[in-house]
C-alpha cells in the first residue's frame, strides 16, 4: 500500500510564472539572485478594495463566501496579513463573510457606505457617508483598523474640498490608507469577466498571465519611484480588488513576488514609515499613487501607469466599457476539474456537478487515490472548512495524546488537567474526557452566537447549569468541546495547531491550513479547522489502517475501534444530515448503519464528509459550500451518489480485515 508523498505544492506555479518573466526579459534589477544586499528587499502591504465583492463570481458560486475564503486562505499560506476596504452599504447578507475575513487574521478598513466619487459630491455629504461606514464597522472591534480608502483614490479636486474632507477624517480619528502601487488590475478583471462569460478558457489564461506580470512590474516601478524621491526603499501599499481574477491568481502573484524578494507586511506597518508623513502636494481630479502626490510632486510619474493601462486596453480590446455579463445560470452540464477518473466515474462526477454546493469528491481505495474531482471553481489547493468534521480531528488528538501518555485515561476528569477549575467550579471539574467525547457532559448548551463574543469560552461554559448528570444523555453541542481543547493544550503543553501539525498531520504527510482560535487563543475544538481535501482523505485512511502509517503507530488500534464504535445512542437515529443512516455516536465520530455496522463517518455542516468503509477498504471525502440556508437537497444528492453509485463499485468483503 503505497501513497506517494504530496508533491511540492508550489513548484509548478513558480516555474510557470517565472518562465513568463524571463522569456519577456523583464528581469528585475532587484531580483534576489542578483542583489548583494538582502536588506534591499521590498516590503509590501496588501489591500483589497470593494469588499464584499466586485464583478461576477467564479462559475457556479452564487455567494461571495467561497472566493473570499480562498483569498484569505492564500494570504494565510503566504503569511501575508491584508486589509480589506469595505463598501458598508453592500455588506447586507454577507456579514459572516466579513467575520471570517477577520477570523483568518485580516483586518477591515473603511471604503465609505456608498462608494461615492468625491469629485461628484460635497465634502460634507461624502464625509457623512464615511462616518456611517465607520459607525457600522466598529461592530468588528479590533478587526476594524481606522483607515479610509478614497473611492477611485479621489481625494478632492479643489484645495478647499481636499482640506475640509481631511479635516473631517481627522475629527473622526480616521487615517488615510494611501496606495503606492496603483495599477490596472481592475481593467484586467474586466477582460477576465468577459472571457469568463464567453467560456473562453484560453482567454482567461492570457489575462491571468498578464495580471501577474503587470502587478509585479507595478511593484518594481513603485520601488524605483520611491528610491528616486527618498533615496531609499519605502514600504509599499498594493491595491487589489476582491474579484474573481484576484481570487484565482493571488497564489501565483504572491509566489512570484516572494521569489523576487518581496516581504509581506501589514498596512499599519507600511503606513508607519515617515514617507507617508510627507506633505501632499497634489490638488486635482486624478486618483494618484501617494508616491507621486508626496513632496516633491511628480505627476509625470503617472505616465507609466497610463502607458500600462493603454497597452492592456489595446491587448484585450477594452477600448469601450464592457457590458456586464448577465448573471444567468448555465444550462446543461457544469464543468468540473478531475485528476483521477476511473471507469464509470464520469457519470458520478457529472451527477455531483449538478449541485452548486459541491466542492470536492475524492475516493481512496486500498490506500491509493483512485478518484478525485473538484467543482464550482474549487481545486486541489482550495482548503475546506471542515465545520464539525473538526470534532473528529479533535477526537483524534485525544487518541494521539493517550498513545504518547500526555493523557492517562478517558475517565480522567477535566479537573485533573485544569486543577484551577476544581476550586472555581467543583461540580463541573468532574466532567470526564469520555463524557465530552460522547456529547454527554450534561451541561446546558451555550448559545453559539453569544459565546463568539465571549472573552473566555471555557469560563462561560463552566457557568452553564447541568441539564442532567454527566454521562446520562446525548446532546450534540459544538462550543462545549472548548473544554476538550483546554485539556489537550494543558496536557500536551502544545497548542492545538502544534499538536495537529506535529503529532497527527505531519506523520501522515498532510498539512493544516488554518484553525480558528477563540479569544484566549485556543483552537475551536468543534469547528473551523481548514484542510485540503487531499489531506482530509488521509485522516480517514489513517483510521481505516487502524492508526498505523508507514510502520508507525500514530493512533492505537484500540482507540480507533472505540472511537468509531457506538458509545452512545442519540435520541434520533439519523440525527445529523437526515439522509445518512446512523447507528450511534462514538468519540466525536458517527457510527453508520451501513456495511453491517462497520462503516463510520466524520460529518460537518453544509456537507463535509469523511466516510470510512473498512470492509470495502474505502475512504470517501466530499466537501461543500456551506451557506446558512437549508442544504437538504444537496445532502440527498450526495447520499444518493454515495449509496447508489460509489459503494456498488467497491465490493464488500465477507468480514472486516484484521
User: Which residues sit at the interface with Zn ion, rule CB under 5 A?
Assistant: 49-50, 151
Least Å distance, CB 148 to Zn ion, is 11
Least Å distance, CB 316 to Zn ion, is 21
Least Å distance, CB 150 to Zn ion, is 9
Q: Pick from 556, 536, 655, 558: which is nearest to 597 by CA?
A: 655
By C-beta, is 151 or 479 nearer to Zn ion? 151
By C-beta, is 240 or 621 nearer to Zn ion? 240
Least Å distance, CB 157 to Zn ion, is 17
Match 510502520 to its residue by C-alpha cell. Answer: 551
Strand pairing report for 107-110 and 384-385: unpaired
SS in 3 state form for 119-156?
A: HHCCHHHHHHHHHHHHHHHHHHHHHEEEEECCHHHCCC
By C-beta, is 211 or 587 nearer to Zn ion? 211
By C-beta, is 153 or 602 nearer to Zn ion? 153
β-pair partners for 147: 175
Query: Exposure string (b/e) for 256-276, b if CB count within 10 Å is 16 or more?
Result: bbbbbbbebbbbeebbebebb
Least Å distance, CB 647 to Zn ion, is 50
Angle between helices 185-197 and 201-230 (to 10 degrees): 180
Least Å distance, CB 74 to Zn ion, is 21
Question: Strand, helix or coil at 642?
Answer: helix
Least Å distance, CB 92 to Zn ion, is 18
By C-beta, is 50 or 90 nearer to Zn ion? 50
By C-beta, is 240 or 637 nearer to Zn ion? 240
DSSP state of 595: G
β-pair partners for 360: 374, 623
**CA–CA separation, 653 vs 617, rounded Å?**
9
By C-beta, is 239 or 458 nearer to Zn ion? 239
DSSP state of 294: B
Least Å distance, CB 153 to Zn ion, is 9
CB atoms within 10 A of CB 233: 17
By C-beta, is 97 or 348 nearer to Zn ion? 97
**CA–CA separation, 175 vs 163, rounded Å?**
14
Least Å distance, CB 297 to Zn ion, is 24
Looking at 231-377, list the stretches that DSSP marks H as alpha helix, in order from N- to C-terminal side: 244-259, 267-271, 290-293, 302-315, 345-352
Length in residues, the chain: 658
Q: Is the peptide bond before 467 cis (omega within 30 degrees of 0)?
A: no
Q: Which residue is nearest to Zn ion (CB)?
A: 49
Strand pairing report for 175-176 and 144-148: parallel
Least Å distance, CB 325 to Zn ion, is 20
Least Å distance, CB 49 to Zn ion, is 4
By C-beta, is 150 or 375 nearer to Zn ion? 150
By C-beta, is 87 or 348 nearer to Zn ion? 87
Question: Strand, helix or coil at 525?
Answer: coil
Question: Strand, helix or coil at 463?
Answer: coil
DSSP state of 37: -
β-pair partners for 154: none
Least Å distance, CB 151 to Zn ion, is 5
By C-beta, is 111 or 538 nearer to Zn ion? 111
Strand pairing report for 618-624 and 608-613: antiparallel
Match 487615517 to its residue by C-alpha cell. Answer: 175
CB distance 540 to 548 below 8 Å = no
By C-beta, is 144 or 336 nearer to Zn ion? 144
Compute the C-alpha angle 620/622/627, nearest 5°: 160
Does the CA dihedral 322-327-332-334 come out positive or negative?
positive
- With DSSP H G I counted as helix, E B as strand and the rest as coil, what are the percentages for the chain, rounded to 5? 45, 15, 40
By C-beta, is 243 or 485 nearer to Zn ion? 243
Least Å distance, CB 111 to Zn ion, is 6
**CA–CA separation, 529 vs 523, rounded Å?**
8
CB atoms within 10 A of CB 328: 7
Contacts of 11 (CB under 8 A, 6+ apart): none
Least Å distance, CB 116 to Zn ion, is 11
Q: How far is CA 498 from the centre of its chain?
A: 19
By C-beta, is 240 or 484 nearer to Zn ion? 240
By C-beta, is 109 or 377 nearer to Zn ion? 109
**CA–CA separation, 638 vs 469, rounded Å?**
37
CB distance 384 to 536 below 8 Å = yes
Q: Pick from 9, 1, 5: which is nearest to 532 by CA?
A: 9
Least Å distance, CB 309 to Zn ion, is 16
Amino acid at each position: 500500500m503505497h501513497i506517494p508523498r504530496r508533491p511540492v505544492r508550489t513548484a509548478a506555479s513558480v516555474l510557470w510564472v517565472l518562465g513568463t518573466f524571463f522569456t519577456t526579459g523583464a528581469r528585475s534589477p532587484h531580483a534576489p539572485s542578483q542583489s548583494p544586499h538582502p536588506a534591499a528587499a521590498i516590503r509590501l502591504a496588501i489591500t483589497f478594495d470593494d469588499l464584499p465583492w466586485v464583478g461576477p463570481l467564479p462559475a457556479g458560486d452564487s455567494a461571495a463566501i467561497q472566493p473570499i475564503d480562498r483569498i484569505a486562505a492564500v494570504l494565510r499560506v503566504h503569511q501575508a496579513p491584508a486589509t480589506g476596504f469595505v463598501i458598508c452599504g453592500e455588506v447586507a447578507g454577507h456579514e459572516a463573510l466579513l467575520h471570517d475575513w477577520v477570523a483568518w487574521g485580516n483586518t477591515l478598513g473603511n471604503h465609505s457606505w456608498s462608494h461615492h466619487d468625491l469629485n461628484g459630491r460635497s465634502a460634507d455629504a461624502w464625509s457623512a457617508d464615511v462616518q456611517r461606514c465607520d459607525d457600522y464597522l466598529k461592530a468588528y472591534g479590533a478587526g476594524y483598523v481606522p483607515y479610509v480608502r478614497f473611492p477611485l483614490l479621489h481625494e478632492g479636486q479643489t484645495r478647499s474640498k481636499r482640506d475640509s474632507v481631511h479635516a473631517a477624517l481627522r475629527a473622526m480619528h480616521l487615517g488615510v490608507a494611501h496606495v503606492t502601487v496603483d495599477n490596472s488590475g481592475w481593467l484586467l478583471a474586466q477582460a477576465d469577466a468577459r472571457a469568463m462569460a464567453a467560456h473562453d478558457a484560453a482567454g482567461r489564461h492570457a489575462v491571468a498571465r498578464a495580471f501577474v506580470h503587470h502587478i509585479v512590474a507595478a511593484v518594481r516601478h513603485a520601488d524605483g519611484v520611491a528610491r528616486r524621491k527618498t533615496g531609499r526603499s519605502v514600504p509599499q501599499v498594493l491595491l487589489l480588488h476582491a474579484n474573481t481574477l484576484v481570487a484565482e491568481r493571488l497564489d501565483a502573484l504572491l509566489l512570484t513576488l516572494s521569489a523576487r524578494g518581496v516581504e509581506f507586511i501589514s498596512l499599519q506597518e507600511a503606513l508607519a514609515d515617515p514617507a507617508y508623513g510627507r506633505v501632499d502636494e497634489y490638488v486635482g481630479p486624478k486618483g494618484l499613487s501617494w508616491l507621486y502626490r508626496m513632496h516633491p510632486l511628480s505627476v509625470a510619474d503617472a505616465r507609466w501607469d497610463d502607458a500600462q493601462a493603454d497597452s492592456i486596453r489595446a491587448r484585450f480590446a477594452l477600448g469601450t466599457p464592457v457590458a456586464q455579463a448577465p448573471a444567468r445560470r448555465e444550462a446543461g452540464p457544469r464543468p468540473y476539474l478531475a485528476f483521477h477518473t476511473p471507469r464509470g466515474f464520469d457519470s458520478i462526477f457529472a451527477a455531483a456537478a449538478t449541485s452548486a454546493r459541491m466542492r470536492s469528491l475524492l475516493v481512496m481505495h486500498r490506500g491509493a487515490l483512485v478518484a478525485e474531482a473538484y467543482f464550482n471553481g474549487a481545486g486541489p489547493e482550495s482548503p475546506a472548512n471542515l465545520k464539525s468534521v473538526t470534532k473528529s480531528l479533535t477526537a483524534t488528538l485525544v487518541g494521539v495524546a493517550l498513545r504518547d501518555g500526555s493523557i492517562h485515561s478517558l475517565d480522567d476528569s477535566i479537573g485533573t488537567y485544569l486543577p484551577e477549575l476544581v476550586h472555581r467550579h467543583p461540580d463541573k471539574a468532574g466532567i470526564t474526557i469520555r463524557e465530552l467525547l460522547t456529547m454527554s457532559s450534561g451541561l446546558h448548551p451555550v448559545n453559539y452566537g453569544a459565546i463568539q463574543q465571549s472573552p473566555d469560552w471555557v469560563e462561560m461554559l463552566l457557568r452553564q447549569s447541568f441539564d442532567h448528570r454527566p454521562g446520562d444523555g446525548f446532546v450534540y453541542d459544538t462550543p462545549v468541546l472548548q473544554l476538550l481543547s483546554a485539556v489537550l493544550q494543558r496536557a500536551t503543553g502544545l497548542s492545538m495547531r502544534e499538536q495537529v501539525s506535529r503529532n497527527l498531520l505531519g506523520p501522515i504527510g498532510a498539512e493544516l491550513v488554518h484553525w480558528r482560535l477563540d479569544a484566549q487563543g485556543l483552537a475551536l475544538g468543534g469547528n473551523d479547522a481548514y484542510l485540503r481535501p487531499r489531506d482530509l482523505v488521509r485522516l480517514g485512511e489513517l483510521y481505516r489502517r487502524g492508526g498505523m502509517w508507514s510502520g508507525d503507530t500514530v493512533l492505537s488500534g484500540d482507540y480507533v475501534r472505540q472511537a468509531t464504535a457506538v458509545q452512545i445512542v442519540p435520541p434520533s437515529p439519523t440525527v445529523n444530515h437526515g439522509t445518512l443512516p446512523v447507528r450511534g455516536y462514538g468519540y466525536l465520530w458517527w457510527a453508520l448503519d451501513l456495511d453491517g455496522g462497520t462503516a463510520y463517518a466524520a460529518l460537518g455542516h453544509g456537507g463535509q464528509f469523511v466516510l470510512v468503509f473498512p470492509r470495502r477498504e474505502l475512504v470517501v471525502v466530499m466537501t461543500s459550500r456551506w451557506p446558512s440556508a437549508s442544504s437538504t437537497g444537496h445532502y440527498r444528492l450526495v447520499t444518493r451518489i454515495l449509496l447508489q453509485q460509489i459503494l456498488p463499485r467497491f465490493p464488500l468483503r465477507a468480514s472486516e480485515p484484521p
